Amino acid sequence: MNSIIAEKKFIAERTGIPYSNLSQSYLRAETVLGSLSTYDFELQRNNVAAPTVTERLLDLNDEFVMTHLTIGIKNVASDTDAEHIVAPIQTYANDEAASGNVNPVGDNVEALFNSSFSLTINRKEFLPEFPVRFFKRVGDTQVTASTQSSYPNGLYGFAPFEPVKIDGRMTIETYEVYVVKKGDEERYEKTLFNDSQVGEQICSLKNTSHTGALIAARMVTSFTNHIANGLMGIDIREVPFHFREDMQLQLITMECQQK
C-alpha cells in the first residue's frame, strides 16, 4: 500500500494532476497480426470502429497516466466476444499443436518479438525505439494442449516507464510554428507528414479560439523579430526555426535557426 501511495504522489508531482484525481486503472489496445511491417495501436475509442470486448480505450475527457507497459499475443478461433473473453494472453510463441485460442503460433509471432516498439502521442515522441523482446517471457511451465503457461505475478512481462499522460482530447492544446529561412527548406521538409498519419480528432473542448490566438501571436512575433533583425543588420531578436507549446504541461520547446 505504501508503494502505491508513493507512486501516486510522484505521478501527481510529475504531471500536475491532483493526487485525489488519481486511481488505478489500465488501457488495453489490440490489433490483428498479419504480414505488415508496421502496426498501430489506437488508444482513443472514437478512432476505433469496432473495438473488441477485451479492449479498454479512452473516452472523451478521459486522462490516463501510463507507468507500466506490456505487449502480449493471443489467438482466437473466430472474432467473437465469446472467443476474445476466454483467450489467454501469451508472452511467447510456442510449437505446441493445440487448437482454438490456446496456442498463438506462427512465424509472424516470433517476428513480433524481433521488432521494436515506439510511443508517439499527439505527434510527440516519448519513446523512439524499445525492443519488443523485453516483453518476452517463457514461464517455468509452458503451454500444452491441456495446460497454460505459468504466470507468477500481475506485472509479469511488464516494463516500468516514466509516467506519460495520455488523454482523449483534441490536440489543439498543442501547437507548432515553423520559421523557414532560405537554405532551411530541406530541414523543414523532414518535419512534414501525410494526412493519413493523423487520426480523426474529437471535440476541442472550446480550446480552438485561445489556441488560435496564441498561434497568430507567435507567427506575428516571429515575423516582426525577423524584420527587426534585418533592419538592424544584426540578430538581436530571437527567431526560432521551430516553436512548440503544450498548454496542458505548460511546456515550451524551441529549435534554433542554423547558423
Return the closest-CA partner of residue 96 out of 151, 147, 34, 150.
147
Listed residues 104, 133, 167: the one ending a domain:
167
Evaluate whether 161 touches 67 at the Cβ level (below 8 Å).
Answer: yes
**Residues forming a β-bridge with 119:** 127
DSSP designation for 96: -
Q: pLDDT tens string for the chain (259 positions)?
A: 456 778 888 888 877 778 888 888 899 999 888 777 888 888 888 778 889 999 999 886 678 888 899 998 888 878 899 989 988 888 887 655 444 444 555 556 788 888 998 887 766 677 888 999 999 988 777 766 666 677 788 888 898 888 877 776 545 667 888 888 888 888 888 888 776 665 555 555 556 677 778 888 889 998 899 899 888 888 888 888 888 887 766 778 888 877 6
Query: Does residue 201 share a domain with residue 230?
Result: yes
Query: Does residue 126 share a domain with residue 36?
Result: yes
> Residue 189 half-sphere exposure, CB side, CA atoms within 13 Å?
5
**Residues forming a β-bridge with 124:** 121
The sign of the torsion formed by the CA atoms of 15, 18, 21, 23 equals positive
Q: Considering its fold, how many domains does the chain have in total?
A: 2
Query: Does residue 162 share a domain with residue 212?
Result: no
Query: Does residue 33 share a domain with residue 114?
Result: yes
Evaluate whether 241 touches 207 at the Cβ level (below 8 Å).
Answer: no
Range of the domain at 224: 171-255
Listed residues 107, 134, 167: the one ending a domain:
167
